Structure 1
Amino acid sequence: MARGGSSSSSNPKISALIVEDHRPTSMLHEAILKRNNMETKVVNNGKHAVELHSKGERFDVIFMDYNMPEMNGAQATKKLREMGVRSMIVGVTSCTDFERVEFMAAGLDKCFKKGLTRAMVEEVLQKLKE
């Protein structure tokens, strides 16, 4: 996967898309990712994430909520995978076990219970290095 930008530390800048409709949660996730030297972009539903990729934008990792208006996380993840998007897609959600199974089957690489923590981000960063 291509990495975005250069870095002032030993870790290269990683580009991250946050797909989350609850503004306080997206702000928290964005702050955690930026503290981990990641470049971020935020959209508030799965449809917007698909549209960005349709326009040629690419990210190293996508942090995706499940419950969102217009297009939920499972629908967006499935569509992105059908479009050939190879970014790591990480679910960050409070969905039910049934929804989590659907979400994983749509093409997630990993799924965490909401809210995102520094330890979760470090796990994702380690996986991206593999």
Structure 2
Amino acid sequence: MAPQDLGTKLTALVVDDNRISRKIHQKLLNSVGIMKNQGVGNGKEAVDIHCYGQSFDLILMDMDMPIMNGIEATKILRSMGICSMIVGVSSRSMESEIQEFMEAGLDDYQVKPLTNAKLKSILDKIKPNFTFK
């Protein structure tokens, strides 16, 4: 498989209650070749989608959401045995808040807004040979 084909093989879930942020992150994923991506509006929806059998290589998880926040959702996903790379993407910058989110089971944390450079650093951890489109 050629390196540029790796992006088309990756799947991603964007979990964010802000519709605009969710769409921006999905477009960013599309722009680097991750065409199989989906968005949901809260942590409960992220848990539910996994309960119905879907799985993803990458989950971009917001911290502050109604119904179920990112910390709760991450803990539940990990307790379900979900091994996807879960990256917290939030505007929170206090070390104690980030630490609490990381301890929930995150693999990485990025401060919003997500950029190509931040996404590349995430993808390098999943697929070191990933080539941006």
Verify same fold: TM over 0.5: yes
Aligned counterpart for 2:71 among listed residues 71, 74, 81: 74
Deviation string, structure 1 residues 72-106 (Cα, Å, up to 9, x no partner)? 00100000000000000000001243221111000
Runs of 4+ in 1 over 3 A off after TM superposition: none
Letter in 2 for 1:101: Q
Letter in 2 for 1:110: D
8 Å CA contact retained: 2:7, 2:32: no
Unaligned runs of 5+ in 2: 129-133
1-structure distance, mates of 2:76, 2:120: 27
Letter in 2 for 1:94: S
Aligned residue for 2:18?
22
Secondary structure at 1:11 match in 2 = helix
Between the aligned residues of both structures, percent identity stands at 44
Specify which structure has the bigger relative contact order, considering alpha-carbon pairs within 8 angstroms and separated by 6 or more residues. Answer: 2
Return the offset for 1:10. Answer: 3.5
Deviation string, structure 1 residues 1-59 (Cα, Å, up to 9, x no partner)? xxxxx99x433421000000001111111110000111210000000000001111000
Unaligned runs of 5+ in 1: 1-5
8 Å CA contact retained: 2:47, 2:77: yes
Aligned counterpart for 2:101 among listed residues 73, 97, 103: 103
Q: Count how many residue pairs are aligned between Structure 1 and Structure 2.
A: 125
2-structure distance, mates of 1:10, 1:42: 22
Aligned residue for 1:116?
114
Superposition map of 1:26-105 within 5 A: 26-38=22-34, 39-95=36-92, 96-105=94-103
Secondary structure at 1:10 match in 2 = helix
TM-score of the superposed pair, with normalisation by structure 2: 0.88
